[in-house]
Amino acid sequence: MAIEEVARFLRETPPFSLLPDAALAAVSRKIQIEYFPAAHNVLIREGAPAQFLYVICRGSVDVVREYEGTPVVLDTLDAGDVFGEVSLIYEQPPIATVRTREEMLAYLLPAAEFYRLRREQLAFSHYFTASKIERLNLALKSHQQHDAAQDLFQLRLRDIVGRGIITVPHTATIREVAAIMAEHNVSSVIITSNPEGIVSDRDLRNRVVAKGLDYNQPITTIMTSPVLSLPDDSLLFEALSFMLERHIHHMPVTVQGKIAGMVTDTDILRQQSNSPMLLPRQLERAHTSGDLRSYTDQVEVATIHLLKSGARVRDIGRVVALAHGALLRRLITNAEAELGAPPCPYAWVVVGSEGRYEQTLRTDQDNGLIYADHAPADADRYFAALATQVVDQLVQCGFPLCTGNIMAINPQWRQPLSVWRGYFHDWLHNPNEEALLQAAIFFDLRKTYGTLEIEPVLRPVIENARQQKIFLARLARTSLRQTPPLGFFRNFVVERDGAERDLIDLKERGTALVVEMARIYALASGVPATNTFARLEMAALEGSISTGLAEELAAAYELISLLRLEHQVALCERSEQPNNRVPISALTTLQQRDLKEAFRTVRKAQKALEFTFQTSMLG
C-alpha cells in the first residue's frame, strides 16, 4: 500500500489529523500494515504489553472483559478508531482483551514512534490524556472555518482602540460639552461624575436639539450613567454582541477597571464589511416590505460571515436572535401605529429555537400573544388584527407559517394571562404525553415585546415542575422516542432506498434530542434559562445532571449544530432551500467519525435520563 494512501487515511484520523503535514508524512513512512483474521485476540488482558498503537483501517474489534467467568463486550471499535494506547502509555499489560469481530486490516505505529510523537507533538500527546469533553472540543475546532486572519474572534478591543478619551467635568453645560466635542472632533465624551457618565453626538441630537432643550442646562441632565464598558482584553465579537444587545454605539474600554479608551460601532465596521453591526442601521433605513425583506437577507449574510469567521454556533444564535428580535419589534410598532394604541398591556412571546436564542437561518414562526386579564371585552379583536398583520409581515420577510399553527393568529395562543397560566398548570398536573409533544416548546417561552409583566405570574407555575415527578417522567419518555442514528456496531443508521437514502436528519436525530434533555434537566432544577447551553450549565450547578455529562452534551450539541449549519449554508450558497437532512457521503471521513462520537454522547445521556427519571416505571 502506497505511503500516500496511508498518509491520506491518517490525515482523516484523530489524533494523526492533529499533526503538521511534515510530521504526518514522516509517521506514514514508519507505519506497518498487518492483517488479522476474525475472532483473533490482538491484545490479551494481563498479557504482554502492547508494542504498537493500532489504527483500524478496515474491519472491527470488540473490547472484552470477563465478569464472573462471562465475557462482556465493553465497546466495539471500527475503521478510524485506535487502541493499545493505555498499555503503551503506562507500559503495562492490557486492561482488556481486544478481539477481532471480523477480518481486520490495521496500521501499526511502533511504540518508539508513539513515544517520540508524544514528546514532540503536544496536540498528539494531549489527545490521549484529554477527557471526552476535550476531545469533542478538539473535533469542533478542527471543523470551524477561518476565512480571515484578523477577525471578530481574534482581534481584541485593545487592538482597535485609537486615541484616549476626552473627559469633561460634571459641572459643564450642554453648550460647553458640544464645543469641546467639536474642538477635539470626537463623537462622545466621558463625564467625570460619580458614577461616571457618557454623552454622544446622538444624545445631543435626540435629547437636546430634537426636544428644544436649553443649551445652558448642566450636561448631567442628558448623560447616560452609569457607563456600560468592557475590559480591553475582550474579543471584538464580545463587544459586538454587547453593543447590539444594549443598542449602544459608543462603548468605553477599561484597563484594570479604569476607562482608558473608546470604541464605536464604526471602529468595528472597519474590521468587518459584513459585520452584524450594520444591521441596526439597515433596519433604521427600512421603510417598505422590500426593505424589511432585504434586512432579513442581510441577517442571513451576516450569519454566514460569522460562521466562516470561526464563530461558535451558540454565539451566532445569540446575534441572530438580537437581529430578528429587532425586526419583530419594528413590525409590531408598525402595526400599533396603524391600528392605534393597544386596549391593554400585552406581551408578544416567542418559543422554540427563537425562544432559546438558537435560531440561525430563517425557520418557521413559533409565537404567541398574552394580554392582561382586565382587558376590555373587544380586546381580542384588536390583538387578532395585530397578530395577523405581524405574522403576514414575517412571512413577507421570509419566515414561513408554523406547520403546527403555533402562532399568535391562532386564538389558542392569543389569550389572557390567566389562561396561559392555566395552560402551564394543566401540562404539569395532567401530563398527557401526546399533548406534551407539542407543549414542550412552550417551556422555552421568551417575551420579546410588550409592557405586560408575565414572569411574576408564569414563572412560579413553571418552577413548580421540579415537584411534579410524573410530569418530568412523562416529558422524559416523550423525548426518548427518537434516538441518535447509530447502529450496534457504531455505523450510521440511514435509509437505504427512496428519497431519504443516505440522509441523516441532524435536527430530529441530533440537536433536538439535546434540546429536549436540557429542557427536562432545567425544569427538574427550577432553572429559568431557556438557552440549551445555559440550561445544561445551570442544571449541573443545581445537581440534576452531572457536570461531566452536561459538558459532554454541550460539546456534542455544538458540534452537531455546526455540521448542520454548515450544510444549510452550503445549500443557501447554491440558492437551494436550507434543510436539516445531511447526506452521509457529503461528510468527510473525519466529520463522520466526530459525528459518531457526538451521537454516542447523546445516546449515553439518553440512557442516563431514562434512569434518572425512571421512565420504565410509568404505566
Question: Which tens digits make up the pLDDT trace of 392-448?
Answer: 999 999 899 999 999 999 999 999 999 999 999 999 999 998 889 889 999 999 999
**What pLDDT shows up at residue 204?**
92
- pLDDT above 70 covers a percentage of the chain that reads 92
CA–CA dist 252, 263 (Å, integer): 6
Residue 131 pairs in a beta bridge with none
Contact 236, 315 (CB under 8 A): no
- pLDDT above 90 covers a percentage of the chain that reads 56
Q: Smallest Cα–Cα separation from 542: which of 516, 558, 515, 520?
A: 520
In the predicted model, is pLDDT for residue 260 greater than 70?
Answer: yes
pLDDT in tens, 589-612: 888 888 988 999 999 999 999 999
User: What pTM, to 2 d.p., does this model score?
Assistant: 0.74
**613 secondary structure, DSSP code:** T
Q: Smallest Cα–Cα separation from 151: which of 142, 159, 141?
A: 159
Contact 370, 349 (CB under 8 A): yes
Three-class secondary structure assignment of 347-381: EEEECHHHHCCCCCCCCCCCEEEEECCCCCCCHHH
Mean pLDDT, the chain, integer: 88
**What pLDDT shows up at residue 2?**
76
Strand 97-100 to 60-67 pairing: antiparallel
In DSSP notation, 387-412 reads: HHHHHHHHHHTT-PPPTT--STTSGG
**What pLDDT shows up at residue 38?**
93
Contact 371, 345 (CB under 8 A): yes
Task: Give the chain's domains with CATH numbers.
Answer: 3-129 (2.60.120.10), 157-267 (3.10.580.10), 474-617 (1.20.120)
pLDDT in tens, 145-162: 554 434 555 678 888 887
Higher pLDDT, 338 or 277: 338
**What pLDDT shows up at residue 278?**
62
pLDDT in tens, 445-475: 999 999 999 999 999 999 999 999 999 999 9
Backbone angles phi, psi at 379, to 5 degrees: -60, -35
In the predicted model, is pLDDT for residue 496 greater than 70?
Answer: no
Contact 377, 343 (CB under 8 A): no
Residue 505 pairs in a beta bridge with 581
Instruction: Compute the residue count for the chain.
Output: 619
Sheet holding 32-36, edge to edge: 32-36, 104-110, 52-58, 82-83
Q: Give Cβ neighbours of residue 92 (< 8 Å, ≥ 6 apart).
A: 49, 86
